[in-house]
Amino acid sequence: MRKISFLIFVLPLLLTSCFKEDERVTPYDRGDKITAVIPMTEIENGNEIRLYKNQVYYKLSDSAIVSSNDKTSWDLAFDATDKGCKIWLNTANFMLAGQTETTNLSEVNSAAGLAMQFDPSSGNPDSTVLRNWILISENDTSYSEKVYVIDRGYDEAGNLLGYRKIKFDSLTNNRYYFTYSNLNNTGLTQTFVLKETGYNKVYYSFQTGQQLQPEPAQTAYDLLFTQYTTLLFTNEGDPYPYLVTGVLLNPFATEVAFDSTFLFDELDLVSASNLLYTTQADRIGYNWKDVQGDVENGVVSYVVNPNWNYIIRTQNDELFKLRFVSFYNHQGVKGFPTIEYQRL
């Protein structure tokens, strides 16, 4: 995480004597508050509602949706940075994976007995399920070649996406080589994905058997609105994975701070500069909204907390204050987070 810089506003006082008495410094125009509706839910043919189908990338300085994709369009994400070697699961689909103790792909035919896990939503690359596929020491790089079983999870309608078994072979000349098939050994595929300069990750789809690039370039966006899997706890304190709908940070040089003490309109640059910033991917997360109603019978509604402020520091060291004002569109359909934000 970048070292947080604290801005001390003494410069105007020091410069006062440098200006003639009738000179004025033009104030910096911070612009009006901007309201944006993020279409995570897709409405087809005017009435077919596909809840939380879309992953939406947003850039604050441009007040624009950069791109949007079907959350089921990809399965695996591969680190595209220069020295990166991590591989991530698509937890927007509630995807899980488990490591076997064999290197023989044909020996594996089920997930029975495996510890099926998901990637944590914090974004910590050292906690990914597939982290041990590559072994890097000071003088050597080797590959475990262990077979993993992947549960691809569910689509937005709750349909099972099926299983794959996979073995990651090597990372050579910026190419990740891997072999996979169905659990019954059909569909055997040997392939690779190639890193692309300027991107956080490159992606692969089991469905199409192709590399794809749903995520914009590193410098092209700030926030990702998406479903993702995270760890929640029951009333008894027992942990369980759960699919939530929220916001993740761009992992490239983007930070966020949280505040609940200031009214949104009163939060200024001085106050924001004294907050604690983090690169934790899910710091904005999902709990800016509360569930009201009967969870057991599904009759619920979502109410946002407008007194929770998020301050995003972008890659260009711009600061934006942001809050949520709704989770519904004008027709009352959920899955349309409405944000209000302003440059500080």
List pLDDT tens digits, range 267-325: 999 999 999 999 999 999 999 999 888 777 778 899 999 999 999 999 999 999 999 99
- The answer to whether residues 105 and 130 belong to one domain is yes
Taking the chain, what is the end-to-end CA distance rounded to the nearest angstrom? 21
- The answer to whether residues 82 and 63 belong to one domain is no
Give residue 47's pLDDT band: very low, low, confident or very high (50, 70, 90). confident
3-state secondary structure of 248: strand
Please list, in sequence order, all residues whose beta carbon lies within 8 angstroms of the beta carbon of residue 206, skipping any fewer than 6 positions away. Answer: 75, 152, 164, 180
- The answer to whether residues 204 and 313 belong to one domain is no
Tokens of 321: 């204050």
Answer yes or no: is pLDDT of 140 > 70: yes
- Supply the pTM of this predicted model: 0.89
Q: How far apart are CA 128 and CA 91, in angstroms?
A: 11
Contact 202, 78 (CB under 8 A): yes
Please list, in sequence order, all residues whose beta carbon lies within 8 angstroms of the beta carbon of residue 290, skipping any fewer than 6 positions away. Answer: 302, 303, 304, 305
Q: Name the domain count of the chain.
A: 2
3-state secondary structure of 108: coil
Please list, in sequence order, all residues whose beta carbon lies within 8 angstroms of the beta carbon of residue 282, skipping any fewer than 6 positions away. Answer: 121, 122, 123, 228, 230, 246, 248, 249
Q: Tell which of 213, 245, 280 closes a domain.
A: 213
- The answer to whether residues 227 and 202 belong to one domain is no
- The answer to whether residues 60 and 79 belong to one domain is no
Predicted confidence (pLDDT) per residue in 101-136, tens digit: 999 999 999 999 999 999 999 999 889 999 999 998
Tokens of 156: 């937005």
- The answer to whether residues 235 and 330 belong to one domain is yes
Q: How far apart are CA 59 and CA 62, in angstroms?
A: 6
Tokens of 336: 């349309």
Q: Tell which of 190, 213, 236 closes a domain.
A: 213
14 lies in some domain: no
320 lies in some domain: yes
**Which has the closest alpha carbon to 334: 41, 26, 76?**
41
3-state secondary structure of 186: coil
- Average pLDDT value for residue range 54-65: 98
Contact 189, 171 (CB under 8 A): no
Answer yes or no: is pLDDT of 10 > 50: no
pLDDT of residue 138: 81
pLDDT of residue 13: 27
- The answer to whether residues 260 and 302 belong to one domain is yes
Contact 334, 327 (CB under 8 A): yes
- Residue 323 phi, psi (nearest 5): -145, 165
330 lies in some domain: yes
- The answer to whether residues 224 and 280 belong to one domain is yes
Tell me the residue range of the domain where 46 lies.
31-69+219-343
Q: Tell which of 155, 189, 213 closes a domain.
A: 213
Tokens of 115: 């510890």
Tokens of 236: 């008894």
pLDDT of residue 30: 59
